[in-house]
A and B are shown apart, each in its own frame.
Chain A
Amino acid sequence: MLPHPVLEVEDVAIRFGEVQALDGVSLRVNPGECIGLVGHNGAGKSTIVSVINGGLTPHRGTISGDGQSLLSYGIGIARNRGVRCVFQELSLCPNLSIIENTRIMHRNLGGFGWRAKAAAIIAKSLDLVFPNHGIDVSASVGSLSIAERQMVEIAMAFSDAGTPPRLVILDEPTSSLDAGLAAQLLAHVRRFVESGGSVLLISHILHEVLSTAGRIIVMKDGRISSERVAAAFTQATLVEAMGSVASAVEARNVTAKSTETALSLALPRGIPFAARRGEVVGFAGLGGHGQTDMLLALFEHHSSRWLPRRDPEVAFVAGDRRENGIFELWSILRNMTIAALPDLSPRGFVQAGAETGRGADWKSRIGIRTPDMNNRILSLSGGNQQKVLFARALSTRAPVVLMDDPMRGVDVGTKQEVYRIIRAEADAGRTFVWYSTEMEEMSLCDRVYVFREGAIVEGLSGEAISERAILAASFAGAAE
């Protein structure tokens, strides 16, 4: 007889407004196994993780653990059962020291002399996962590098202060680690699994998943599309199971581009940046290695904080919609026209007619699904909100459009539509600078710059753009 699963979710469904984030997902985590979870952005991986760690209550479905059904599941219960999670975004308090963060993470660590205990616990875990890490546990988290923060987060999840970790969820744990540290982590995952622990590993780097996980689950559009033992997958069949996004789009335009430079930026180190007219330039590399900073610097250089300008040089499409994209109180129309407002406002007065016309025009051109452009922006699904942001940038007269990982959480259908629009606009002479964490999207670019530690380390163009070449450049030097 099989042992009871550490945790099991059955037929779980979750909706966010218009978006069906999860649609009948069942998942079973046995003790002593590592499950790989793969899928494109927006496939529902993060959502299922939130259900497992108790952060989200599903609208349908059941959760059980060790053979008993858990009716009132929540963050506290999950933690008491030994479920730990390492998130993509920072989940430590930057103003506190590593020791103090350990205190926050372990509620039962109180009492006199807790500092010494916490220091011992986190130091032990760090030594175990990342031997020779060289991190001072009394340092404040804010003073650590990204890689060090990620190491602390991971060590925190594996640390034991009374309640031992039983199921550790790692969501893109290696995104800021170099090859050596990633290897240390994966080795620890194998040790942990051998000693009876369970791990749920989410990663874009497929060979990591293939080499570490015993079982791989592929998600697509909020469902599990495929589930097999890892040995039954190869990199190619895994990519196929995920449903390649790029294949449906016509190959990149190989005809000679104009040689006129549309945008350039001198950099203190690394390869200088330049983009030509009508070109789609990709920014690749591991997340958080300076791509967004570079886009912001480009925007900063070519726009003014003080004076309004009639002829904008650049427009920006944000990836983090909530943070720097949409205006939540406003209608769809106002959200769309804000960037092009000076064009619609002779002598500073907004012409309502011209604005409505512009809105109706782009509503049909980019296919925003709404009965009325005067509805609130939040009435739209995430994908349609993103289309509004594209329309905002494209409806300006700016010759260059900067895009900061704009496809996060966007469904496949919308992506295809947007890819076509980008291609068409580029052919008409617009320049696009495109940062994306999706490898497939890089293959849509004419040229790709690979980033490492805040600088451009490689420029690839045309046929030379491949996942292998990008990964090699992202890690080059670190493996030495």
Chain B
Amino acid sequence: MKMSSDNLRLLVPILSLLLLLAGVFYLQPRAMSYMGLNLLFNLAVPIALATIAQMLIMSVNDLDLSMGTFVSFVACVTATYLNDTPALGALILLAAIAVYAVMGVVIHLRNLPSIVVTLGMSFIWAGLAVLLLPAPGGTAPVWIRSLMTSKPPVVPMAIIASAIIAVVAHVIVMRSSFGVLIRGVGGNQRSVERAGWSIIAARGGAYALAACFAVAAGITLVGLATSADANIALRYTLLSIAGVILGGGEFTGGRVSPIGAVIGALTLTLAGSFLSFLRISPDWQIGAQGVILILVLALRLIFSGRTAKTGRSAKT
């Protein structure tokens, strides 16, 4: 059977996830239950959403270093304004999405490095978050709290939500015209421009859509955590980048995979539980995550090396 490169791209993330899952079940058979799975994957939902957001930015060859602070900011808004005065809260979040769109447009118009612009933005979001909630606090709106803690029959909420996120993102990015356009910008911006498309609109749109997913990440995070603080999601910047890469995405060339990104996010979440089940000393938890990241990347190299050889003659 001939495998398309897209399917092959998904193989490594799926394998890594299954391997980790098998490891977890082996170490802790009790995890193989409704409650166990829910616990394992609970925190995956906001991470998956943030990973999709990062993936959208990466599909136009940019990188968002402000993802973590932005999600934290959204969490702070959710736990304060969105709870107390929902209309005003929604307005603030819409404005934040607009800021992202503007950021995309400015980055394109002035040909700025996205890393530096988002680095600057990360200070701004962090500042706003600290102004909103100088100390941990706030309350999660009841509706998101009940949504995130609901217990649907048979399959835990976290898994259902992850599947929905993957399908929605897949439809938008891989099936819709807009998704084709933004991946086209990542693949060969010049030719998309020559075909008469507005690259400004495409990039602005990609950033705005990314902001929508990031906002969803912030809201669901508060739903899980019940309250917020200004530093609640700082690690999401690195987690989201790692998630996209684990999921088979690439930094350039518009080669991304939404389903892979969600799987990457699940893998990262699971890695934490796996390590604690392994009874690795907490000192080495972070380091072991680094090792897992390196291993998956090495695994991918082996696989992509094989496809690169078959596809190489066509490339040059």
Direct contact of A and B (CB under 8 A): yes
* Cross-chain contact A91 with B188 (CB below 8 angstroms): yes
A55 and B191 alpha carbons, distance in the complex (Å): 11
Cβ-closest chain A residue relative to B198 = A76
B314 at the A interface (CB under 8 A): yes
B183 at the A interface (CB under 8 A): yes
Instruction: Name the interface residues of A134-157: CB closer than 8 Å to any CB of B.
Output: 139-140, 142-146, 148-149
B196 at the A interface (CB under 8 A): yes
B195 contacts across to A, CB distance below 8 A: 79, 104-107
* Cross-chain contact B180 with A103 (CB below 8 angstroms): yes
A372 and B4 alpha carbons, distance in the complex (Å): 56
* Cross-chain contact A94 with B187 (CB below 8 angstroms): yes
Known: A93-B187, A95-B186. A79 touches B314 (CB 8 A): no
A95 contacts across to B, CB distance below 8 A: 183, 186-187, 253-255
B43 to A: closest C-beta gap in Å: 31
Instruction: Name the interface residues of B212-266: CB closer than 8 Å to any CB of A.
Output: 253-255
B255 contacts across to A, CB distance below 8 A: 95
A454 at the B interface (CB under 8 A): yes
Return the contact of B177 from the options A103, A145, A292 (Cβ within 8 A).
Answer: A103
A139 contacts across to B, CB distance below 8 A: 4
Return the contact of B253 from the options A94, A105, A454 (Cβ within 8 A).
Answer: A94
* Cross-chain contact A104 with B197 (CB below 8 angstroms): yes
Instruction: Name the interface residues of A100-129: CB closer than 8 Å to any CB of B.
Output: 100-101, 103-107, 109-110, 114-115
* Cross-chain contact B4 with A140 (CB below 8 angstroms): yes
Cβ-closest chain A residue relative to B196 = A76
Number of interface residues of A (CB under 8 A): 38
Return the contact of A91 from the options B177, B191, B253, B316 (Cβ within 8 A).
Answer: B191
A146 and B315 alpha carbons, distance in the complex (Å): 7
A144 and B197 alpha carbons, distance in the complex (Å): 25
Known: A75-B196, A94-B253. A292 touches B184 (CB 8 A): no
A66 at the B interface (CB under 8 A): no
B177 to A: closest C-beta gap in Å: 5
A94 contacts across to B, CB distance below 8 A: 187-188, 253
A104 and B187 alpha carbons, distance in the complex (Å): 12
A265 to B: closest C-beta gap in Å: 17
B127 at the A interface (CB under 8 A): no
Cβ-closest chain A residue relative to B188 = A93
* Cross-chain contact B313 with A145 (CB below 8 angstroms): yes
A369 to B: closest C-beta gap in Å: 31
B175 contacts across to A, CB distance below 8 A: 115
* Cross-chain contact A144 with B316 (CB below 8 angstroms): no
* Cross-chain contact B253 with A55 (CB below 8 angstroms): no
A194 at the B interface (CB under 8 A): no
A181 to B: closest C-beta gap in Å: 16
A290 and B314 alpha carbons, distance in the complex (Å): 11
A95 and B316 alpha carbons, distance in the complex (Å): 15
B192 at the A interface (CB under 8 A): yes
* Cross-chain contact A93 with B183 (CB below 8 angstroms): yes
* Cross-chain contact B314 with A149 (CB below 8 angstroms): yes
B184 contacts across to A, CB distance below 8 A: 93, 96, 100-101, 104
A293 at the B interface (CB under 8 A): yes
Known: A92-B191, A94-B253. A100 touches B5 (CB 8 A): no
A78 to B: closest C-beta gap in Å: 9
B197 contacts across to A, CB distance below 8 A: 104, 107
B316 contacts across to A, CB distance below 8 A: 146, 288, 290, 292-293
A183 contacts across to B, CB distance below 8 A: none
Cβ-closest chain B residue relative to A147 = B314
Instruction: Name the interface residues of A70-97: CB closer than 8 Å to any CB of B.
Output: 75-76, 79, 85, 90-96
B24 at the A interface (CB under 8 A): no
A454 contacts across to B, CB distance below 8 A: 313
A337 and B180 alpha carbons, distance in the complex (Å): 45
Given A95-B254, A145-B313; 18 other pairs, CB 8 A cutoff: A79-B196, A90-B188, A90-B191, A96-B183, A100-B184, A101-B184, A103-B180, A104-B192, A106-B195, A107-B195, A107-B196, A109-B177, A140-B5, A142-B5, A142-B314, A144-B314, A290-B316, A454-B313
The 6 sampled A-B contact pairs (Cβ below 8 Å) are A90-B191, A91-B194, A95-B187, A103-B180, A106-B195, A149-B314
B contacts, CB < 8 Å to A: 4-6, 175, 177, 180-181, 183-184, 186-188, 190-197, 253-255, 311, 313-316
Leading 6 A-B pairs by shortest Cβ distance: A93-B187, A95-B187, A91-B191, A93-B188, A76-B196, A95-B254
